Amino acid sequence: MSVGLIALLDDIAALAKVAAASLDDIAGQAAKAGAKAAGVVIDDAAVTPRYVVGFAASRELPIVRRIAVGSLKNKLLILLPAALALSLFAPWAVTPLLMLGGGFLCYEGAEKVLEMVWPHAAEMAPDAGAAPADPKLLEEERVRGAIKTDFILSAEIMAITLGTMPDSAFWIQCVVLAAVGVGITVAVYGVVALIVKADDAGISLAVNEAPARSLLGLRGATGTPSGADRALRPVTQAIGRGLVSGMPGFLKLLGLVGTAAMVWVGGGIIIHGLEEFGHGSLGHALHGAAHASALAVPAIGGALEWLVTAAGSGLFGLVVGGALVVVLHRAVFPAVARIRGVEARHTP
């Protein structure tokens, strides 16, 4: 074998190692970004099912599909190029934008907490109980509203993803952003589709008198239920009733988890941003408390350290969000409303 061929094979092996390392890096970055964006993802999954409330069962999955397609367009056609341009031309702006996004998460989370404590029915949207006069128009309105909401949440996801890899190569950033965008969209709207159809599946199981034949694809077969049907029926009917009765509670729990995750992630982003700008006293104090807790109970040190960090970030996020709620609702929103009122009066 010639020396040149040996050198070529060595180069190919080296390139293969580099490619494998890059793939590992991409997978690791994507997983890290997904974990960082957990609060936004959970909130997205908790919020989206309300957009299909009030429609015929046959329209639920098509509506979810339309929102998912809009979400993909948001991420891949608008936010991905914007994030890459930001990384290339204004990397210094990533941390401030992340902090603004963290503030938005804190605001949203605090507003949800206030809504739990002091409900304001007039501010709830969309109106889940109203029967639409024109289902097609209402569907268009709901889909547009969902895609607009998704744009904000998707921007947070992409910004958080970009913030996890400030020193990565441009092409790795591109691949990771695309992978996270597609992966999270598929995961979120796949879960949403399961949620919105869970009650239908539960009803079907609860009323099915021949579950064994259904499992075998013999649903249309005539005759009395078999022994297998009679044996399996109590189990499937119990599962069906559990799905129907448990889904409202599950959605409430998902909403609570999403709210907690929003203030935790938002508070953590702001604390980390303050550290980036040289104001690390709060972050150091939180890390110190978490580390001390881990040392105090070594058996569950890792879990306890994470819990203390998350709780501290969440409390800070709730304080920041509460302050933003007061400022926006008492000063900013009324001022904007007055300006719009003046403009409306002067419009011929």
Residue 271: band (very low, low, confident or very high) from pLDDT cuts 50, 70, 90: very high
Structure tokens at 268: 């953590």
Query: ∠49-51-54 over CA atoms, to 5°?
Result: 100
DSSP, residue by residue, 156-205: HHHHHHHHT-TTS-HHHHHHHHHHHHHHHHHHHHHHHHHHHHHHHHHHHH
Q: Which of 12-16, 103-107, 250-254, 262-266 has the lowest mean pLDDT?
A: 12-16
Q: Which residue has the higher pLDDT, 215 or 327?
A: 327
- pLDDT, residue 22, reads 44
Question: CA nearest 270: which of 109, 111, 113?
Answer: 109
- pLDDT, residue 285, reads 92
Q: Is the pLDDT of residue 346 over 70?
A: no
Q: What is the DSSP letter of 331?
A: I
- pLDDT, residue 201, reads 80
- pLDDT, residue 327, reads 92
Provide mean pLDDT across the span 268-291.
Answer: 89
- pLDDT, residue 16, reads 42
- pLDDT, residue 318, reads 94
Q: Is the pLDDT of residue 19 over 50?
A: no
How far does CA 161 lie from the centroid of its chain? 13
**Cα dihedral value 313, 316, 321, 326, nearest 10:** 170
DSSP, residue by residue, 15-79: HHHHHHHHHHHHHHHHHHHHHHTHHHHHHHHHHGGGGGTTS-HHHHHHHHHHHHHHHHHIIIIII
| pLDDT tens digits, one per residue of 117-159 | 877 643 444 444 444 457 788 888 888 888 887 787 788 788 8
Cβ–Cβ < 8 Å for 146, 67: yes
Q: Is the pLDDT of residue 78 over 80?
A: yes
Average pLDDT for the chain: 76
Q: Is the pLDDT of residue 272 over 70?
A: yes
The sign of the dihedral angle between the CA atoms of 81, 82, 83, 84 is positive
- pLDDT, residue 90, reads 84
Provide mean pLDDT across the span 79-87.
Answer: 87
Cβ–Cβ < 8 Å for 46, 260: no
- pLDDT, residue 316, reads 95
Q: Which of 67-81, 205-219, 318-332 has the lowest mean pLDDT?
A: 205-219
Q: Residue 333: which residues within 8 A CB-CB, separation 6 or more?
A: none
Question: CA nearest 87: which of 8, 167, 146?
Answer: 167
- pLDDT, residue 225, reads 67
Q: Residue 109: which residues within 8 A CB-CB, separation 6 or more?
A: 39, 259, 260, 262, 263, 266, 317, 318, 321
| pLDDT tens digits, one per residue of 161-213 | 877 776 777 887 888 888 888 888 888 888 888 888 887 788 887 777 777 66
Query: ∠114-117-119 over CA atoms, to 5°?
Result: 80
Q: Is the pLDDT of residue 320 over 90?
A: yes
Question: CA nearest 83: which of 189, 157, 26, 32?
Answer: 157
Provide mean pLDDT across the span 258-277.
Answer: 86
Q: Which residue has the higher pLDDT, 104 or 232?
A: 104
- Any long-range contacts for 211-220 (C-beta under 8 Å, 24+ apart)? 211/235, 211/236
- pLDDT, residue 121, reads 41
User: b or e along 28-64 (b: 16 or more beta carbons within 10 Å of the residue's beta carbon)?
Assistant: ebbebbbebbbbbbbbbbbbbbbbbebbeeeebeebb
pTM above 0.75, yes or no: no
- pLDDT, residue 143, reads 87
Q: Domains of the chain: which residue ranges?
A: 3-250
CB-side neighbour CA atoms (13 Å) of 122:
0
